[in-house]
Amino acid sequence: MLDALNNIWLISRRELQSFSKRPIFLVIMIVAPLGFLWMFSSLMKAGLPTKLPAALVDEDNTHVTRELTRILGSMEETRFVMKTYSYTEARQAMQRGEIYAIFRIPKGTTEAALTQRQPVISYYTNDTYYIAASLLMKDMRKLSEMAGIAITRETMRARGFTDDQIMGTVQPILVESHPLGNPHLNYSVVLTNLIVPGLLMLVIMLTTSYALGMEWKNNEQKLLFEMAGRRTWVAIVGKLLPQTVLYTIIIWLFDLVFYSYFQFPCACGIPRMMMWGFLAVLASQGFGLLMFEAFPGMMRMSMSACSLLGVMQFSLAGFSFPVSAMDLPFQWFSNIFPLHHYFLVYVNQALNGYHISYVWLNVAALVALSILPWLFSYRLTEAFLNKEYKA
């Protein structure tokens, strides 16, 4: 046993030396993840994008419509960068990508409203830009609804109703929405702290296959096997341990930045999240190792598999488009990705602060991903003995 530990130490030291000789390792393993942390956190600093550019087509141009548009202009998401009298002009601006929405008040709106002839106002959102369109739509819809209410209120006030009575008439049922865990609808809370660890997990998968494959490529796999005392597990642990340590430090740093510096909601406490981060690192390494065992000694194939699957995990994890909305085969497929399980554990623990027993299956999946490759390690033993690198 002592012997094995000593071998692990020797192999790890050799691995660290090989990192220091190749700048690409340092770029990919340290600079890139920290760069992504910087990039995404500054990209989504505002949390919810506000003041999105829109166009106002006020064909009516009366004091009433101006009042209406002033209110819309003061709303959170909307900023009118363009005011025009022609719808075509606004549509062209939309096609040029300058605006995401058009709010249109046709000629005669005021007159029709005052004479009870039901004018129609319309708003157009460009739903090829989904987030922007959804946010603008919310504002415009609220305003249109309010415009109607305002008119009824004026009529009722004139008839002598009190304000309480009026509200009970024009809006008897009020919906009070409570977005749980993320009351400000901060996109950063559900994107930055999943995309950035997700990218790290992709890097982990790739570098795991890369580091192992390097041995075959340099034709040193036999040397490594001898160094490990002809024990596969010693060789793997020795090779991957330096990465485990490094990546764990990085993901802990992420946790500190997200939950301590940016104060993202973390109901379970930072140490707990760090523990899940560590488990995610292990599961990603397991995933990479599994891919390498699927194509033993074939660095390129295993890295291709890791990259093709690894990029998909951002879609299949379900934090942008929910897994529950996908077709059934993809719902099953999503379960092979560590990011999917990490995401559900994060939501349960940090965002909602529920008991861990509700996501025990996801925790188990992460553990399983870390353990599973050890069952197939015999494939690596064979590869150590018989497999050569093919250019």
Partner 1 sequence: MRKPKFPIFHVWLDELSELVKDEGILIFIILLPLAYPLLYAMIYNTETQRELPICVVDDAMSSRSRDFIRRVDATSEVSVAAHCTSMAEAQELMRRRDVFGILRIPREFDRQLWLGEQTTVGLYSDLTSMLYYKVEYLAVVNVAQDLNRNIKVLEHQTNITAREEEVARWPIRFEEVKLYNPAGGFAAFLIPPVLMLILQQALCLGVGMSMGRSRERFRGLVIPPTRHYKNTLAIVLGKGLVHFLLFMLMAFYMAVCVTRWFGLPQLAHFWDLLGFFVPYLLACTYMAIFYSSFIYRREDCILLFVFMSIPLLFLSGVSWPGSAVPPLWKAVGSVFPSTWGLNAYVRISGMGASLGDCHTEILALWILAAIYFLLSCFIYMFEIRKAVGRSVLE
Q: How far is the CB of 105 from partner 1 (least distance, A)?
A: 10
Instruction: Indicate if the alpha-carbon torsion angle 273, 275, 277, 279 is positive or negative.
Output: negative
C-beta closer to partner 1: residue 8 or 214: 214
C-beta closer to partner 1: residue 125 or 370: 125
Instruction: Indicate if the alpha-carbon torsion angle 168, 169, 170, 173 is positive or negative.
Output: positive
φ, ψ at 261 (rounded to 5°): -80, -50
C-beta closer to partner 1: residue 2 or 180: 180
C-beta closer to partner 1: residue 190 or 240: 190
Q: How far apart are CA 110 and CA 384, in angstroms?
A: 82
Q: How far is the CB of 50 from partner 1 (least distance, A)?
A: 8
Apex 308 CA angle, 307 and 312, nearest 5: 105
Dig out the tokens for 350 from the structure.
């940090």
C-beta closer to partner 1: residue 234 or 366: 366
Q: How far is the CB of 377 from partner 1 (least distance, A)?
A: 22
3-state secondary structure 330-349: HHHHHHHCHHHHHHHHHHHH
- 342 Cα distance to chain centroid: 12
What are 84's strand-pairing partners?
Answer: 57
Q: How far is the CB of 236 from partner 1 (least distance, A)?
A: 19
Neighbours of 121 (CB within 10 A): 18
Give me the amino acid identity at 332: W
Identify whether the C-beta of residue 25 lies closer than 8 Å to the C-beta of residue 164: no
Q: How far is the CB of 62 from partner 1 (least distance, A)?
A: 14
What are 291's strand-pairing partners?
Answer: none
- In the numeric block, the tokens 């998909």 are attached to 312
Q: How far is the CB of 147 from partner 1 (least distance, A)?
A: 5
What is the H or E stretch that residue 103 is in? strand 101-105
C-beta closer to partner 1: residue 85 or 321: 321
Q: How far is the CB of 358 from partner 1 (least distance, A)?
A: 5
C-beta closer to partner 1: residue 11 or 206: 206
Q: How far is the CB of 375 from partner 1 (least distance, A)?
A: 26
Identify whether the C-beta of residue 8 lies closer than 8 Å to the C-beta of residue 236: no
Dig out the tokens for 292 from the structure.
């390498």
C-beta closer to partner 1: residue 62 or 315: 315
Q: How far is the CB of 14 from partner 1 (least distance, A)?
A: 19
Q: How many residues does the chain have?
A: 391
- CA end-to-end distance (rounded Å), the chain: 37
C-beta closer to partner 1: residue 147 or 380: 147
C-beta closer to partner 1: residue 103 or 225: 103
Q: How far is the CB of 97 from partner 1 (least distance, A)?
A: 6
- 218 Cα distance to chain centroid: 37
3-class DSSP assignment, residue 264: coil
